[in-house]
Amino acid sequence: MGLLLLVPLLLLPGSYGLPFYNGFYYSNSANDQNPGNGHGKDLLNGVKLVVETPEETLFTYQGASVILPCRYHYEPALGSPRRVRIKWWKLSENGAPEKDVLVAIGVRHRSFGDYQGRVHLRQEKEHDVSLEIQDLRLEDYGRYRCEVIDGLEDESGLVELELRGVVFPYQSPNGRYQLNFHEGQQVCAEQGAVVASFEQLFRAWEEGLDWCNAGWLQDATVQYPIMLPRQPCGGPGLAPGVRSYGPRHRRRHRYDVFCFATALKGRVYYLEHPEKLTLTEAKEACQEDDATIAKVGQLFAAWKFHGLDRCDAGWLADGSVRYPVVHPHPNCGPPEPGVRSFGFPDPQSRLYGVYCYRQH
């Protein structure tokens, strides 16, 4: 019956251009001037529709499930329930397109794109339209809008979702400043990560990240974090901070890249093996141990969130050799914690072990 009531909208003046998905109409967010988060509109005879979402950012990790809270009510309260439409979508970030997530009327709902099969409305209590996202992916972090539509009135609120993770600089095997923006995106993805946002890099700088090579960020700017000002990094006279080259041409200009990896569902470990291995032998050894050779992002996440502390250099999936140190000690590199790198040695070299990754 709901579909039959919606179809005549096509004949109404001003209805042209309304987005339409599987029988659902909803307003175009590009024209949505409502700031949301608790400011209701007049609905009928002085009644206001109010949507409530949390002001604080929600933090979670890759592979987890999370609930984005959203509730609505009427002021003053209504004596009988009203039929409303619900829309969830992810706002655009740094030039990325806006994404429809889910639309619903009553028990009827539809999800879209990569969210299909991973999202549903909670609706456990009256007026609760919270969104549950399962098996979170790296690209799921960002700002989500919950919109409640009652007749011609709508109200919405924002929920910000952030993944707990670690930022790490990445340099091409061919050397410093070899990656354009698109190549930076590719190498981060290959290493179990995404290109870091400015907010993520800034948070990493606050936690002590000091790196003199400039790298791409998600918004196609090029920046680098400095804790200890020095001559090769802008000069000793400049204050500590995140230095910026500003926006660069995505194809023509070449730099390093800052990647962002989140906490793991699995385990990274140094494979105890009777002898040192070539890169090919290292990959085969992990497979024989029912695992895969670890990616750079996985090693950084294991160091950051699982306290992986090992002074043995080992091969990783990209052909680099690294080792993680949580508690620095003699004969194990610099006095600060971090993931040490030997660069990209000859893949036929038998001087190193291997770090493997096994999913839980």
pLDDT tens for 185-212 read 999 999 999 999 999 999 999 999 999 9
Q: Please tell me whether residues 158 and 53 are part of one structural domain.
A: yes
Q: Give the C-alpha separation, 332 to 322, whole Å.
A: 12
Dihedral over Cα of 19, 98, 157, 32: its sign: negative
Q: Given a cut of 60, is residue 20 above it in pLDDT?
A: no
Q: Given a cut of 50, is residue 36 above it in pLDDT?
A: no
- Asked if the structure places residue 43 within a domain, the reply is no
Q: Are 211 and 224 in contact (CB under 8 A)?
A: yes
At 33 the pLDDT is: 38
Compute and round to an integer the Cα radius of gyration of the chain.
25
What is the helix (H) or strand (E) element at residue 300, kind and residue range? helix 296-305
Q: Please tell me whether residues 300 and 340 are part of one structural domain.
A: yes
Q: Give the C-alpha separation, 21 to 133, whole Å.
A: 20
Q: Please tell me whether residues 58 and 141 are part of one structural domain.
A: yes
List pLDDT tens digits, range 310-330: 999 999 999 999 999 999 988
Q: Please tell me whether residues 142 and 242 are part of one structural domain.
A: no
List pLDDT tens digits, range 140-155: 989 999 999 998 889 9
The strand pairing partners of 315, in sequence order, are: 321, 354
DSSP 149-213: EETTEEEEEEEEEEE-EEEEEE-BTTBSS-B-HHHHHHHHHHTT-EEPPHHHHHHHHHTT----S
At 7 the pLDDT is: 32
Which pTM value belongs to this model?
0.75
Q: Give the C-alpha separation, 206 to 191, whole Å.
A: 24
Question: Beta strands 215-216 and 256-262: pairing type?
Answer: parallel
* Count of domains forming the chain: 3
Percent of the chain surpassing pLDDT 70: 87
63 lies in which domain range? 48-163
Which range is least confidently modeled, 18-22, 65-69, 161-165, 286-290?
18-22
| 3-class DSSP state of 30 | helix
CATH number where 340 lies: 3.10.100.10
CATH number where 142 lies: 2.60.40.10
> What's the Cα-to-Cα distance from 140 to each of 30, 84, 129, 137, 161, rounded to whole Å?
21, 26, 19, 5, 8
pLDDT band at 264 (very low <50, low <70, confident <90, very high): confident
- Asked if the structure places residue 110 within a domain, the reply is yes
At 46 the pLDDT is: 80
Q: Are 206 and 217 in contact (CB under 8 A)?
A: no
Dihedral over Cα of 336, 338, 343, 348: its sign: positive
Q: Please tell me whether residues 292 and 199 are part of one structural domain.
A: no
- Asked if the structure places residue 219 within a domain, the reply is yes
- Asked if the structure places residue 25 within a domain, the reply is no
User: Among the three residues 261, 295, 326, which one is the final residue of a domain in this structure?
Assistant: 261
Q: Give the C-alpha separation, 47 to 40, whole Å.
A: 9
- Asked if the structure places residue 26 within a domain, the reply is no
- Asked if the structure places residue 4 within a domain, the reply is no
Q: What are phi and psi of 278, to 5 degrees?
A: -75, 170
Which of the two residues, 12 and 240, has the higher pLDDT score? Answer: 240
- Asked if the structure places residue 355 within a domain, the reply is yes
User: Among the three residues 130, 163, 196, which one is the final residue of a domain in this structure?
Assistant: 163
Q: Please tell me whether residues 70 and 140 are part of one structural domain.
A: yes
Q: Please tell me whether residues 156 and 67 are part of one structural domain.
A: yes
Q: Are 157 and 262 in contact (CB under 8 A)?
A: no
Q: Please tell me whether residues 190 and 214 are part of one structural domain.
A: yes
Q: What angle do CA 273, 279, 282 make, to 5 degrees?
A: 30
Both ends of the chain: CA-CA distance in Å? Answer: 47
What is the helix (H) or strand (E) element at residue 44, kind and residue range? strand 41-44
Name the H helices within the chain. 2-6, 181-190, 198-206, 279-288, 296-305
SS3 content of the chain, % helix, strand, coil (to 5): 15, 35, 50
What is the helix (H) or strand (E) element at residue 288, kind and residue range? helix 279-288
- Asked if the structure places residue 56 within a domain, the reply is yes
Q: Please tell me whether residues 132 and 191 are part of one structural domain.
A: no
Q: Please tell me whether residues 91 and 156 are part of one structural domain.
A: yes
At 21 the pLDDT is: 28
Q: Please tell me whether residues 282 and 203 are part of one structural domain.
A: no
Q: Across all residues in the chain, what is the average pLDDT?
A: 86
Dihedral over Cα of 277, 278, 279, 284: its sign: negative
The strand pairing partners of 102, in sequence order, are: 88, 111
Residue 47 tokens read as 């009644």
Q: Please tell me whether residues 135 and 174 are part of one structural domain.
A: no
User: Among the three residues 261, 282, 311, which one is the final residue of a domain in this structure?
Assistant: 261
